[in-house]
Structure 1
Amino acid sequence: MQLVQDYFCNMMIMLALLFIYYQHYKDENLVDTSSLKRKVTSGFFAGLAGSLLMIFGIEVGTNTIIDMRHVPFLLVTLYGGFLPGGVSLLVIQIVRFTFGVSVSSYASLVLIISLFIGYLLFRRWKVETKLKVFIMLIYSNIMFTLVTTIMIDIEPLFKINLLFWITSLVSGMMAIYTSEYLRRINHLFKQYQLSSTIDALTGLNNVRSFDEALNTAIQESNIKRKPLSFLIIDIDYFKHVNDTYGHTAGDAVLQQFGTTLRKSVRTEDIVSRNGGEEFTILLKNTLHQEELTIAEHVRSSIEEQPFKATHMETIHITASLGVATYPDTVTSSDELYSKADQALYTAKRKGRNRVCSTKELSELITK
C-alpha cells in the first residue's frame, strides 16, 4: 500500500510541475525551431523536475530510487529534440550521483542514456502524438525492467516492476494529455494576442496597435526631445479596383500593398493599416527632410510595383501621401495625425499620386 501511495505522490508532483512550466512559458511552446535559450532553459527545467521527483522518489533498496523522472525527460525530448533532452539528461544524472555513487546510480545512467536514444528515434515517427508517447512509455518500461533485473538486486522485483509499469503508463498518458491541452491553450492565447494587435489581411499593425504605438512614440519624443515623423497613405481610386475586379481581388491588392510598404521603409519604422485602403507609417527620430525622402521612395515604389489582381492580370495603382513632423512642421505632437491627414487631402485635391507635407500647407496659408 505504501508503494502505491508513493507512486501516486510522484505522479501528482509531476503534473503540478507541468502546470508551473506552461504557466511560465505560456507565450511560446517548445518546438524544434525554438531559440537556443528556450531549448536550454526547457531542458534545465525538465532536469530540475526529474531531480525533484527523485527527491520524493521511492527507496526500494540501498541507494536505489524509483520515480517518474523519465516523464518530463520524455516530454522535453519529444517537443524539443536533442538539445533540451541532453540538458535534461545531464541535470538529472548529476543530481542522481549526488545521492551516492553505486551500482544503482550507474544503472540509472545506463537507463537514461538508452531512453534518450530511443526517444530521439521514436519522436521521428509520423504518428499521432499520443500514440507516439504511449509507444515511448512502453519502451521506457521495458528498459526499466531490463536494467533493474540485470543490474540491481531489489525485492520484491515483480511487485515493483508491476507498479512502475502501471504508474508510468498512467502518469505518462496523463502528462501528455495535460501537456497537449496546455500547449493548445497557449497557442490559442498567442493567436488571440496577435489578432488583437495585427491586421488579419495584411499582417501589419491594426488600429489598436497603431494607437498604442503612436501614443508611446509621442511620449518618447516629448521626453527625449527627438523628432517624430508621420505618414498617412491612401490608395488612389481603390473603389475602382473593387468594382472592376471584385472584393477578393481588392483584398489581394491590399495584401501586396502592405508588403510593398513594409519593404519600402526601415526595419524600425512602424507600418499600420488603419482601415480600408488607409495606411500609416510612424518614423521615430526622423527629421522632416528625411521623411520627405522616405515618403517619395514609398510613393514611387507603389507606382512602379505591378499588383496581381487575378491569376491572369496585373494592374498598376498609385497612392497619395500626407506627411507631418514634430517639431519641424507641427508645434504639438498631438497634432501629428490631424495635420498629416490634412496634407493627405491636399495631395488628393492636387491630383493624387503625390506627397504633400504640412509645411506646404503652412506656406499656402501664409501666402
Structure 2
Amino acid sequence: MLLGFIVNFCILFTFAILTYIPFQNKLTVFIPSPKYHPFLLGVLSGLTGCVLMLTSVRISEHVIVDARMAVISLSGVLGGPLATILSGIIIGLFRMFFHGFSIHTLIAGGNTIIVCLVIGYCISKKPMTFRNASYYFTYSIIQSSVVICYLNDWSLSGVLPLIGFIVFSFVSFSIVFIILIQLSSLFDKIHKIEEMSVTDYLTGLNNNRKFQEHAQNLLKTNNKFSLILLDIDHFKKVNDTYGHPIGDEVLKELALRVKDATNSCGGFVSRNGGEEFSVLLPNIESSKSIIIAETIRQAIEKNTFHVSTGEQLTITISSGISSYPENGKAVMELFKLADDALYIAKSSGRNKVVHIDQR
C-alpha cells in the first residue's frame, strides 16, 4: 500500500513540474499558441488523472485513493476553468468504467465531474491562484468525502478508508503546491536578476549590454535603422554646482523625456554610460531620424527640470546620428560615426542635432 502511495505521488509531482515550467513560460521553455493552453492542459490533466487511477490504492470495496484531485486543482491554477472542466470530465468518465460500470462507479465518476463543474464555474468568476487553490481543493475533498461515506453505507468500517483518502490527498496536494510556490518565487528572482543585468540601475533604461544586443538584432533583420547618440551639455557643471544627487535626478528625468519623445516611433532607448544616451530607431531613414532627434532636443530644452532643491534647471543636449546601411554595416562602425557627429554638434556650439552625412 505504501509503495502505491509513493508511486502515485511521484506521478503527480512529475506532472506538476513538467506542466508548470512550460505553461507558465518559465526559464527558456515555452509552448506556443497560448489560446490553446487551457485545452491542452485540460487534456494532459485528464490523462494524468487516468494514470493516477491506474496506480491508485484500493482501501475499500468501492473506494480507491489517488492524487487526481490535486491534478484537477493544478489544472485550475495553470489553465483556468476550461482546463478544470475538461480534466474533470475525462477523469470522471474514466472512473465510471475503470473497474467496470456500476452504480458505485457512476456515483464516484459523477462526483468528480460535478466537482470540476462547480470549481470551473467559481474560478470563471474568481481565478484560481496558488494562494486560493487550497480553498477549492478543500471543497473537492469535502464533497468527495461525503460520497465515500455514502459508498461505504455510512458505516464505521468506512472511517479508516476515509481518513486515508483525506490524509493522502492533503499531504500530496500540500507538498506539490509548496514546491511550486517556492519554484515560482525562485523563477521570479531569476527573472529580476536577468532584468538587472540588462537594465541601467539609475534610469531604468536599457544598459549598454542590451543596446549592443538589440543593435545586433536590428542588423540581422537587414532593415534600415538609425542610431542617435545624445549627450547632456555641460553636465559636469550641473554636478559641480548642485551635487551628484541632483545630477542623478536630471538623468532620470531626461530618460523619461527621451522615452516619451520616441515611444511613437518605436525608439529603443539606452543609457550607455555617464550622461550619454542612445536611441535606436528601427525602419527610420536619415531624414526622419533628424526630425526625431530634433523633437527630443526640443523636449529637453523647452521644459525646465524641477529638482528636489526647488530649483529649475535649464538643460540642453547635443545629438549625433548615423544610419544603416548607408553609413555603416557594423554596430561599432555606426556607433563611431554617430559619436563623430555628436562631437561635431558639441564643438560647433552644442544644443544641436548633427547627422554624420551633414559633416
How does the TM-score come out when normalised to structure 2? 0.81
Distance 2:18 2:292 in 1: 48
Q: Which moved more, 1:37-46 or 1:68-77?
A: 37-46
Q: Displacement, 1:108?
A: 2.0
Q: Displacement, 1:158?
A: 2.0
Is it true that 1:87 corresponds to 2:86 in the alignment? no
- In the other structure, the counterpart of 2:30 is none
Mark the CA change 1:182 to 1:48 in structure 2 (over 3 Å): closer, same or farther.
farther
Distance 2:110 2:346 in 1: 79
Mark the CA change 1:51 to 1:319 in structure 2 (over 3 Å): closer, same or farther.
farther
Mark the CA change 1:136 to 1:105 in structure 2 (over 3 Å): closer, same or farther.
closer
1:199-214 maps to which residues of 2 (within 5 A)? Answer: 199-214=200-215
- In the other structure, the counterpart of 1:190 is 191
What SS class does the counterpart of residue 257 from structure 1 fall into?
helix
Distance 2:190 2:203 in 1: 21
Contact in 2 for aligned 1:61/1:154 (Cα 8 Å): no
Mark the CA change 1:252 to 1:63 in structure 2 (over 3 Å): closer, same or farther.
farther
Per-residue Cα deviation, 1:2-49 (whole angstroms, up to 9, x for no partner):
2x33233221211122222233246459xxxxx974872685354554
Contact in 1 for aligned 2:58/2:64 (Cα 8 Å): yes
Q: Which moved more, 1:6-15 or 1:204-213?
A: 6-15
Per-residue Cα deviation, 1:124-164 (whole angstroms, up to 9, x for no partner):
99xx94xx666655544332211222356699522221111
Contact in 2 for aligned 1:324/1:339 (Cα 8 Å): yes
- In the other structure, the counterpart of 1:274 is 272
What SS class does the counterpart of residue 284 from structure 2 fall into?
coil
What SS class does the counterpart of residue 264 from structure 1 fall into?
helix
What SS class does the counterpart of residue 205 from structure 1 fall into?
coil
Q: Which moved more, 1:136-145 or 1:255-264?
A: 136-145
Mark the CA change 1:11 to 1:141 in structure 2 (over 3 Å): closer, same or farther.
same
Per-residue Cα deviation, 1:71-130 (whole angstroms, up to 9, x for no partner):
1333454x56xx6144223223234214536222212223344555788899899xx94x
Q: Displacement, 1:315?
A: 2.9
Mark the CA change 1:305 to 1:297 in structure 2 (over 3 Å): closer, same or farther.
same
Distance 2:153 2:82 in 1: 29
Q: Which moved more, 1:308-317 or 1:228-237?
A: 308-317
Q: Displacement, 1:357?
A: 1.7
What SS class does the counterpart of residue 280 from structure 1 fall into?
strand
For residue 340 of structure 1, the aligned residue among 332, 338, 341 is: 338
Distance 1:348 1:191 in 2: 38
Distance 2:75 2:165 in 1: 21
Q: Which moved more, 1:94-103 or 1:338-347?
A: 94-103
Contact in 2 for aligned 1:42/1:76 (Cα 8 Å): no
Mark the CA change 1:299 to 1:118 in structure 2 (over 3 Å): closer, same or farther.
closer
Distance 1:55 1:301 in 2: 68
Is it true that 1:294 corresponds to 2:292 in the alignment? yes
Distance 1:336 1:250 in 2: 29
Once the two structures are aligned, what percentage of the paired residues are identical?
27
Is it true that 1:73 corresponds to 2:72 in the alignment? yes
1:112-261 maps to which residues of 2 (within 5 A)? Answer: 112-114=116-118, 129=131, 138-150=138-150, 157-221=158-222, 226-261=223-258
- In the other structure, the counterpart of 2:19 is 21
- In the other structure, the counterpart of 1:10 is 8
Residue 106 of structure 1 aligns with an amino acid whose one-letter code is G
Is it true that 1:96 corresponds to 2:92 in the alignment? yes
Q: Displacement, 1:169?
A: 2.0
Distance 2:343 2:246 in 1: 26
Q: Displacement, 1:304?
A: 2.3
Mark the CA change 1:55 to 1:352 in structure 2 (over 3 Å): closer, same or farther.
farther
Distance 1:74 1:251 in 2: 49
Distance 2:91 2:268 in 1: 49
Residue 313 of structure 2 aligns with an amino acid whose one-letter code is I
Contact in 1 for aligned 2:57/2:65 (Cα 8 Å): yes
Distance 2:154 2:265 in 1: 64
Mark the CA change 1:217 to 1:176 in structure 2 (over 3 Å): closer, same or farther.
same
Distance 2:118 2:284 in 1: 59
What SS class does the counterpart of residue 281 from structure 1 fall into?
strand
Residue 250 of structure 2 aligns with an amino acid whose one-letter code is V
Distance 1:250 1:276 in 2: 10
Give the root-mean-square deviation of aligned CA atoms.
3.4
- In the other structure, the counterpart of 2:323 is 325
Mark the CA change 1:331 to 1:170 in structure 2 (over 3 Å): closer, same or farther.
closer
Mark the CA change 1:282 to 1:115 in structure 2 (over 3 Å): closer, same or farther.
closer
Mark the CA change 1:134 to 1:326 in structure 2 (over 3 Å): closer, same or farther.
closer
Mark the CA change 1:42 to 1:303 in structure 2 (over 3 Å): closer, same or farther.
farther
What SS class does the counterpart of residue 308 from structure 2 fall into?
coil
For residue 111 of structure 2, the aligned residue among 107, 114, 125 is: 107
Q: Which moved more, 1:149-158 or 1:294-303?
A: 149-158
Mark the CA change 1:135 to 1:283 in structure 2 (over 3 Å): closer, same or farther.
closer
What SS class does the counterpart of residue 233 from structure 1 fall into?
strand
Contact in 2 for aligned 1:133/1:173 (Cα 8 Å): no
Residue 162 of structure 1 aligns with an amino acid whose one-letter code is I
Residue 164 of structure 1 aligns with an amino acid whose one-letter code is F
Contact in 2 for aligned 1:73/1:85 (Cα 8 Å): no
What SS class does the counterpart of residue 7 from structure 2 fall into?
helix
What SS class does the counterpart of residue 270 from structure 2 fall into?
strand
